[in-house]
Amino acid sequence: MGAWELLLVGVVMLLGLCGVLVPGVPGSWLVWAGVLWWALQEPNGLAWSVLVGATVVLLLSQAVRWQLPPRRLRESGATHRMAAFAGGGALLGFCLVPVVGALPGFLGGLYLSERARLGGRGEAVTAVRTALRAGGWNVFAELFACLLIVGAWVGAVVAGGG
């Protein structure tokens, strides 16, 4: 697979990551489709292992999400800016402290967004708790699964599977 094709697969996965934060967009399935596209173009054991792993991670995340309360973020006052801060924080945390940094990054992004919007620490903490109860954990579960998949894909490409 050439560099341009890898770049296109990466763009599809990036759109999927962004799509996780937008209600109604099948972000996790876009990430999975990117892995599928790559695995079909690179028919080797590593590529197929990443595809199988991505499928298992997505199915597990769906099972976890079914156990969580449904998304009602709009009623809680969640904004697009909050989603962007939370997603950016999760991505930054995932990269700085691999895997486990996604949770503090997600929570930190939510907090920074609400602190900038509301001004006070107490109000921001209350707003973050409200957002998490209204479906924030649901969004985090899906985003974390997608980050794991993209991380595995990047690792496989760097290791020579692409």
**pLDDT string in tens for the chain (162-residue length):** 788 999 999 999 999 999 988 877 888 999 999 999 999 998 888 999 999 999 999 999 999 988 877 766 666 667 788 889 999 999 999 999 988 999 999 999 999 999 998 888 999 898 888 888 888 888 899 999 999 999 999 999 998 855
C-alpha dihedral sign at 135, 111, 79, 61: negative
**d(C-alpha 23, C-alpha 32), whole Å:** 18
Quick one: pLDDT at residue 38? 94
Q: Which DSSP string do the residues of 135-153 spell out, in sequence order? A: IIHHHHHHHHHHHHHHHHH
Which distant-in-sequence residues (6+ apart) come within 8 Å of 24 by Cβ? Answer: none
Residue pair 127/114 in contact (Cβ under 8 Å)? The answer is yes
105 CB-contact burial (10 Å; exposed 0-12 / middle 13-18 / buried 19+):
buried
